[in-house]
Structure 1
Amino acid sequence: MTQLEPGTIRKTTLDDLEVGLICADRDGNRVRIDRVDPIAGTIAYHFLNDELRVQEGVREEAIADFLSESWYLA
């Protein structure tokens, strides 16, 4: 994963994806990545609540679809 300068916010890229990474969208929704399978091209993640606890069950989708949803990291 690429290290960011403190205070930097940018769009998540393929190189950033790793288990445990927390990303957010512009609405403040946060997800934590549970599994990345580059061979199958899939990613599994779940949404987090304000206390960073699991809010919903695990979702799995194509990595390209996940990245197209504009998730950000800081």
Structure 2
Amino acid sequence: MPPSKPKGDDGRAWTKYMGLGAQLIATIGISVAIGLYLDGQFGTNPWITVAMSLLGVVGGLWVSIKDLL
């Protein structure tokens, strides 16, 4: 007899985690794109991109952890 699924588990929990991963990648990607654009405008290569990428990582992790808890 196969093991029974926990009540309320319809086998689609992986979609939540795929969404979190996509959200993290999108947040970092958008922040890097903004940093590249601003570096091009102000001629500060690569400092704004570095700052924006770090901000994107922190922001993406913050949102991901908040959604998991």
**TM-score category of the 2 structures, normalised to the smaller one:** under 0.3
Q: Larger helix proportion, structure 1 or 2?
A: 2
Q: Larger strand proportion, structure 1 or 2?
A: 1
What TM-score do the two structures reach when normalised by structure 1?
A: 0.24
